[in-house]
Amino acid sequence: MRKFELIAPCHFGLEAVLKKEIIDLGYDVALVEDGRITFIGDDEAVCRANIGLRTAERILIKIGSFRAETFDELFEGTKALPWEEYIPEDGKFWVAKAASIKSKLFSPSDIQSIMKKAMVERLKQVYKADWFREEGQSFPIRVFLMKDMVTVGLDTTGDSLHKRGYRKLTAKAPIAENLAAALIMLTPWRDNRILADPFCGSGTIPIEAALMAANIAPGMNRSFTACSWEHLIAKRVWEDCYEEAKELVDASVQVRLQGFDIDPEMIKIAKQNARLAGVEKLVEFETRGVEKLSHDGKYGFLITNPPYGERLEEKANIPPLYRKLGERFRLLDTWSLYVITSYEGVEKDIGRRADKNRKIYNGMMKTYYYQFAGPKPPRNGSERGAG
């Protein structure tokens, strides 16, 4: 069985969460870097990682790495890689994305163009061809340059892994599904505890919690670019991995998950998204502003992505909104609160210092995940309550 070095990029700040997921899937982590984890696995690992990882952005097969400070070195280093082991003669191949940090080569378009030429030169020699039709399956390449070290990966995923397939409509500033999953994983929440999102928007946080509770793999109902690479991964391997994911679903789970939003249109969208995700019976959505946030359950979790006030016209509304959240949270005296935001007045307006805060990049935006821990529930298992 062929072993690959596999690279899983993630949001900056969430490497530890993804590392744990990969280990829990049964694979050895080789390297942890800012924004990505490298691990070792075979063809089945490619399938299981794409289908099962909740916090990764994609899965790349590492083709190789080399040092390049000039475009000549980039060309020669790329040409030396064994492209014919991955790309058949009729394959359609291109450098889909180039990212460069602290490197002498920094123009993405130039990096992409030179690498494509080098790949063509290599494959012309191997396949004894003057040109390629590129009418077959797609082989997108991604490249990272960090301090002049070039890492080249073949993208097995296609559309980013955060696209689970259930979110057809979204709020103005939706949180990505894989980030929502990671935020939940950074808390001690388990499916015997209540979870509510008072600014639920299109429902992503409670829906991701429901998928976890029912053990529904995030990629179970979508396909991936590598599904068609039968020379690398047999169709049967994909079929077995999808089947494994279906067998692990726990349709009988009982869980208390709620999403509230002041906008009734958002609540409609959230309900539709939960239905598409197959978890509509596990999540309750209700039109309710934060000023009416209350709950008669105990030891629950508020996990939320409130407005940040990035637009000028919204800035004045933000402090009162967070103050109101703080007031309602104080009334939920056994609960814990977890807030991701770029707004810097959180602790002042909530009225309490966070027990922890973690820097996380939400796309290109620097945010902090503020964690206000509540008391631990008694050990008699009576923490589940009515809403």
What pLDDT digit, counting tens, does each position of 123-143 carry? 999 999 998 999 999 999 999
Cβ atoms of 192 and 300 closer than 8 Å: no
Same domain, 183 and 121: no
The full DSSP string for 121-169 is: HHHHHHHT-S-----S-EEEEEEEEETTEEEEEEES-SS-TT--S--SS
Residue 375 binned pLDDT confidence (cut-offs 50, 70, 90)? very high
User: How much is the average pLDDT of 110-121?
Assistant: 98
How far apart, in whole angstroms, are the C-alpha atoms of residue 164 and residue 247? 19
Q: Is residue 115 packed enough to be buried (19+ CB in 10 Å), middle (13-18) or exposed (0-12)? A: buried
Q: Is residue 112 packed enough to be buried (19+ CB in 10 Å), middle (13-18) or exposed (0-12)? A: middle
Residue 309 binned pLDDT confidence (cut-offs 50, 70, 90)? confident
Instruction: Count the domains in the chain.
Output: 2
**pLDDT tens across 6-61, in order?**
999 999 999 999 999 999 999 999 999 999 999 999 999 999 999 999 999 999 99
What's the one-letter identity of residue 115? M
Structure tokens at 134: 């590129």
User: How much is the average pLDDT of 208-220?
Assistant: 98
Radius of gyration of the chain (CA): 23
Beta-strand (E) ranges in the chain? 4-9, 28-33, 36-41, 60-67, 92-101, 138-146, 149-155, 195-197, 257-261, 283-287, 301-304, 336-341, 356-362, 365-372
168 occurs within a structural domain: no
Entry pTM: 0.94
Would you state the pLDDT for residue 173? 67
Same domain, 42 and 107: yes
Would you state the pLDDT for residue 379? 82
Same domain, 105 and 208: no
Q: Is 111 helix (H, G, I), strand (E, B) or coil?
A: helix
**pLDDT tens across 193-203, in order?**
999 999 999 99
Containing structural domain, residue 182: 177-215+250-372
User: Is residue 387 over pLDDT 50?
Assistant: no
User: Is residue 96 over pLDDT 60?
Assistant: yes
| Region of 363 on the Ramachandran plot (φ > 0 left; ψ -120 to 50 alpha; else beta) | left
Would you state the pLDDT for residue 171? 65
* 380 compared with 322, residue with greater pLDDT: 322
Closest CA to 336 of 365, 376, 295, 294: 376
Lowest mean pLDDT of 128-132, 153-157, 308-312, name the range: 308-312
Same domain, 197 and 76: no
Same domain, 145 and 186: no
Closest CA to 87 of 232, 238, 233, 225: 232
Q: Is residue 365 packed enough to be buried (19+ CB in 10 Å), middle (13-18) or exposed (0-12)? A: exposed
Q: Average per-residue pLDDT in the chain?
A: 94
Question: pLDDT > 70: what percent of the chain?
Answer: 96
How far apart, in whole angstroms, are the C-alpha atoms of residue 292 and residue 338? 18
310 occurs within a structural domain: yes
User: Is residue 381 over pLDDT 70?
Assistant: no
Closest CA to 341 of 374, 314, 380: 314
77 occurs within a structural domain: yes
